[in-house]
Amino acid sequence: MHPDIERVLLGREEIQERVKMLGETISADYRGKELLAVGVLKGSVVFLADLLRVLTVPVELDFIAVSSYGASSTTTGVVRILKDLDRSVTGKEVLLVEDIVDTGLTLKYLTDHLYQQEPAGLKVCALLDKPSRRRVPVTIDYLGFSIPDEFVVGYGLDYAGRYRNLPDICVLRREIYEARE
Ligand code: IMP
């Protein structure tokens, strides 16, 4: 195991099983429709890549990038768009795909931003949720796992840009982020 990791919270097999179930549910719910999956860069890319391959409905792909916490593990509450969608979502069935919902501020900002373009529908799929940290109410239509308030990395999730390539979702050792805060 990587020396900066305290323990594995969700192993790769458990993740794959859950992603498959999510994909099957989403495919059933959208049967007969076309979907536009919007991935939130960069944390959602690994999850989205796996989810896409389970979907059986026609699906288009777009990405949006928002400012993250930088090198800090706690949120400032300030959200900024770094890269907007290539095309408007007006009239589309949109599935917003997030890695993790923490305070909910990012998701609230993103759903408000997308609703302004009047999509035909907008649903949210998040791999992870930390409900104990919520500061604004948000709806997650498709959720992978609810997790305790611990800082996790791997399977796309980072700390200071690192650890995204770890195949499991892991709890980062406190010393790693406390040393930089
Ligand atoms: P929120 O706006 O507080 O809900 O934060 C959501 C964003 O914070 C996510 O998209 C992640 O980029 C980041 N984040 C929150 N918790 C974690 C974590 O435990 N590990 C890695 N990134 C996290």
Would the pLDDT of 165 be above 80? yes
Residue from 48, 67, 100 to probe ligand 1 pocket by mutation (most atoms less than 8 Å from CB): 100
154 lines ligand 1 (CB under 6 A): no
Whether the Cβ atoms of residue 155 and residue 166 lie closer than 8 Å to each other = yes
pLDDT band at 179 (very low <50, low <70, confident <90, very high): confident
pLDDT band at 48 (very low <50, low <70, confident <90, very high): very high
pLDDT band at 140 (very low <50, low <70, confident <90, very high): very high
Q: How far is the CA of 106 from the centre of ligand 1 (A)?
A: 8
Taking the complete model, does pTM exceed 0.85, yes or no?
A: yes
How much is the pLDDT for 76?
A: 61
Count of residues in the chain:
181
In this structure, the residue with its CA closest to atom 16 of ligand 1 is 102
Q: What's the Cα-to-Cα distance from 42 to each of 45, 91, 105, 156, 157, rounded to whole Å? A: 6, 25, 17, 7, 8
Q: How far is the CA of 3 from the centre of ligand 1 (A)?
A: 22
Quote the percentage of the chain above a pLDDT of 90: 89
Distance CA 59, CA 67 (A): 26
Residue from 5, 10, 157, 168 to probe ligand 1 pocket by mutation (most atoms less than 8 Å from CB): 157
Give tens-digit pLDDT for 49-106: 999 999 999 999 999 999 865 545 555 667 889 999 999 999 999 999 999 999 999 9
How much is the pLDDT for 100?
A: 98
How much is the pLDDT for 1?
A: 85
Phi/psi of residue 8, each to 5°? -85, 125
**DSSP label of 133:** G
Q: Where are the domains of the chain?
A: 12-148
44 lines ligand 1 (CB under 6 A): no
101 lines ligand 1 (CB under 6 A): yes
105 lines ligand 1 (CB under 6 A): yes
In terms of pLDDT, which residue wins out, 78 or 125? 125
Q: How far is the CA of 130 from the centre of ligand 1 (A)?
A: 9
- Mean pLDDT computed over every residue of the chain: 94
**Of the candidates 79, 143, 133, 142, which has an alpha carbon nearest to the alpha carbon of residue 110?**
79
pLDDT band at 181 (very low <50, low <70, confident <90, very high): low
Strands 35-41, 59-66: pairing kind? parallel
Is 129 known to be catalytic?
no
Mean pLDDT of 22-48: 98
Q: How far is the CA of 102 from the centre of ligand 1 (A)?
A: 5
CATH code of the domain made up of 12-148? 3.40.50.2020
Phi/psi of residue 71, each to 5°? -90, 5
Q: Give the least confident one: 19-23, 40-44, 69-73, 82-86.
A: 69-73
Would the pLDDT of 135 be above 70? yes
